[in-house]
A and B are shown apart, each in its own frame.
Chain A
Amino acid sequence: MKIIVCIKQVPDTSEVRINPETNTLIREGVPSIINPYDLHAIEAALQIKDQDPASTVTALTMGPPHAEVALRDAIALGVDDAALLTDRAFAGSDTWATAYALAKAAEKIGFDMIFCGKQAIDGDTAQVGPEMAEFLNIPHIAYVKKIEKIETGKITVHRLMDDGYDVLESSLPLLMTVVKELNTPRLPSIKGKMRAKKIEIRKWTRQDIGAEDSLTGLNGSPTRVSNIFAPVIKKERKTITGTPDEMAAQILDELKALHCIQPG
């Protein structure tokens, strides 16, 4: 089985803060990590390789040169090799252009299965996986929470839905986006860490993957961010004061006024 895992290097959003004066993100000192959902995607691929050692697992990402760190972390976990799409031409990509570039790279690598995390924690869009499948003209299954069985040319999985789950069968090749329930990601091994230090990471530009200039980066991005702002909600404020008992009485009056509880 030839498997590609798409990963993204993201700022740890639990550490992201806003500068209240400029309404901009404070990025300094925010650690970069592998998107947490992608760790489950890597684990899914590695478990298949554990069963079938003839399998190969390639990690793929797009980003600035620094994103190489995330790929080396993936190698340390047991991924065989890695490719980094890095080129000024990719700058400004929205999900459409990102999915297009990743699809071009996936074609170059070759695959039977592609795993992605269900979404990235910085953008939270969950769009790149399904869009990539569309560009590759292969089916996809989002929110995979269990892989039931893999047979020749087909796979059976459980897909998490809002009100339960669906059991699906699909032909291969297939792209899957995975949720945390699927597995528990392993830790890097010493051997893996050693390998991660030495391995040569392939670095590809737009030309290397044969991507059209007019569909790459900002050129290939239908959407753009027009402005960002800190979330502020302005509501009429009422301050309730007094002893706990008095405050409780006032809250009760408010609830009565709102017809939340019957008066009297």
Chain B
Amino acid sequence: MRLFVNADECIGCETCLAACPYAAIVMKDDKAVILEVCQVCRSCISSCPVEAILVSGESMQEKQPDFDSYQGVMVFAEQRHGSLAQVAIELIGAGRHLADKLGVCLTAAIFGAGQAEAEELIKWGAEKVYLYDSPELKEFNDEPYTNLLSGLIREHKPEIVLAGATAVGRSFVPRVAARLSAGLTADCTSLDVDLQTRNFLQVRPAFGGNIMATILCPNRRPQIATVRPRVMKKGTYDPGRKGEIVLLKAPNYDSRTRVLESVKEASEAAVNLQEVDVIVSGGRGMGGPEGFKLVEQLAKLLGGGVGASRAAVEEGWTTYSHQVGQTGKTVCPKIYIACGISGAIQHAVGMQSSDVIIAINKNADAPIFNVASHRVVADAREILSALIRKL
């Protein structure tokens, strides 16, 4: 048994330092850390005002017995209405990178698709694809998807599993993690591995994007992460790449829920926003619906999409399908032009991975300039009018 500080909870008040009779607690990076000399007297536990000092027992704090037999990276490749989701290809890119770094195999699992989709996954970088091609799996259904992915993980023991943080992935992957007593980290924005421990370093936003947290799963395998679409970059497409497709059938695809109908109704604007190379995005600084029209005009002239901050959507200058950020879409165009957007972190998390960010804002201290590559301190309406005139 030992004591340790839950760094997530510790507020750095140093009360426990005074409470410890063995001087076994020190401050590191403004967090209390309990040293080896701790005698487990527990004096500190009651002193902590935020209950951040905990006792570790066994269970998931202990390495699972077959820990070392897990090897490789597996991507759950989502299909929707018969076609491969973009996020599946992005995850093959991210998975390829992780597998190369670890020196292991990259496999993919795809349900309800055919040989053509499986071959695409190989051309994008997978070495082996497990394909369940039954038409019964075409519509997303939590129970059979959970059964199949859990089964594949049990049999092939990948150390890392990636899935899209989509309506599909975010619904059934938690069931897989619950069933396998595996760690699951949602909505990761960056992924890496620690080569010494082979631990998966999963970075995700929390508290509405106000902080970023690195999540580890040190004692359990596999380590499962979901990743938002448009966060990871695709790998290289090689039409000549060869791989193995393993065609599989399950004895049944039973479920207590049944999809009666699947209705497609995504607005074009919303889809486009995640596909275009250029996005012109407007916020409160556009001043009103007239000002926001300049954003739409410039986007049209540049052949790009129209984005908006939450403020602009709440003012009613445009619709929710254009909203970029934590509660809207994550976008990753080549060029993102932020016009009159202050750039609260809730907005920034939705666009900060864009290649070039041109920020136009009157306020020189606006947080948008922290993520911008091009800084323009000016009234966005004047700049946009001038740009439109020149184009």
Contacts and interface: CB of A to CB of B under 8 A. Distances in A.
A187 interface: no
A95 to B, nearest CB: 7
A124 B81 CA distance: 27
B242 interface: no
B316 to A, nearest CB: 17
B260 A156 contact: yes
Given A161-B167, A222-B219, A233-B371, A166 B207 contact: no
B6 A91 contact: yes
Interface in A224-264: 224-233, 235-241, 244-245, 247-249, 251-252, 254-255, 258, 260-261
B218 interface: yes
B300 to A, nearest CB: 13
Contacts of B391: 252, 261
A225 B31 CA distance: 13
Given A224-B218, A260-B277, A251 B358 contact: yes
A160 B320 CA distance: 15
A189 interface: no
B178 A239 contact: no
Contacts of A88: 51
Contacts of A92: 6, 9, 54
Interface stretch (A12-20, A42-50, A74-82, A191-199): A12-20
B211 A127 contact: no
A133 interface: yes
A51 to B, nearest CB: 22
B261 interface: yes
A130 B213 contact: no
A103 to B, nearest CB: 9
A99 B58 CA distance: 19
A117 B57 CA distance: 32
A254 B187 CA distance: 33
Contact of A235 (B140, B179, B373, B383): B373
B170 interface: yes
Contacts of B182: 222
Given A225-B7, A225-B8, A231-B212, A169 B258 contact: yes
Interface string A182-225: 00000000000000000000000000000001110111111111
A123 B215 CA distance: 12
Contacts of B175: 130-131, 133-134, 140
A83 to B, nearest CB: 21
B207 A11 contact: yes
A43 B363 CA distance: 42
B142 A221 contact: no
Contact of B142 (A130, A217, A225, A227): A130
Nearest to B357: A235
A142 interface: yes
Contact of B212 (A128, A133, A229, A255): A229
Interface string B194-225: 00000001000111111111111111100000
Contact of B54 (A91, A135, A162, A233): A91
Given A91-B54, A123-B206, A139-B255, A223 B184 contact: yes
Nearest to B183: A222
B261 A167 contact: yes
Contacts of B207: 11, 13, 16, 25, 122
A143 B169 CA distance: 12
B273 to A, nearest CB: 13
Interface residues on A, range: 35 or more
Contact of B217 (A16, A223, A244, A260): A223
Contact of A232 (B8, B302, B370): B370
Given A170-B257, A228-B8, A261 B302 contact: yes
A214 B57 contact: yes
Nearest to A232: B370
A166 B80 CA distance: 12
Q: Of B54, B143, B278, which is in contact with the most chain A CB atoms at under 10 Å from its CB?
A: B54
A64 interface: yes
A94 B262 CA distance: 33
A18 B210 contact: yes
B26 interface: no
A29 interface: no
Given A16-B210, A130-B142, A167 B374 contact: no
Contacts of A220: 59-60
A254 B387 CA distance: 12
Given A227-B213, A261-B391, A143 B263 contact: no
A164 interface: yes
A166 B261 contact: yes
Contacts of A156: 260
Contacts of B249: none
B127 interface: no
B299 to A, nearest CB: 12
B370 A233 contact: yes
Given A229-B212, A244-B379, A140 B142 contact: yes
Given A225-B216, A248-B389, 17 more contacts: A22-B30, A96-B184, A126-B174, A130-B172, A130-B175, A142-B171, A166-B259, A171-B256, A219-B57, A223-B184, A225-B215, A226-B7, A233-B348, A248-B386, A251-B358, A252-B387, A255-B335
Interface of A: 11, 13-14, 16-18, 22-25, 27, 64, 88, 91-92, 94-96, 99, 121-135, 138-143, 156, 159-171, 174, 213-215, 217-233, 235-241, 244-245, 247-249, 251-252, 254-255, 258, 260-261
13 contacts: A126-B170, A131-B175, A133-B175, A134-B146, A140-B171, A219-B61, A222-B181, A223-B183, A229-B211, A235-B373, A241-B377, A254-B374, A255-B335
Give me the 6 closest cross-chain CB pairs, A-B, nearest first.
Answer: A13-B208, A248-B386, A222-B183, A214-B59, A134-B178, A142-B171
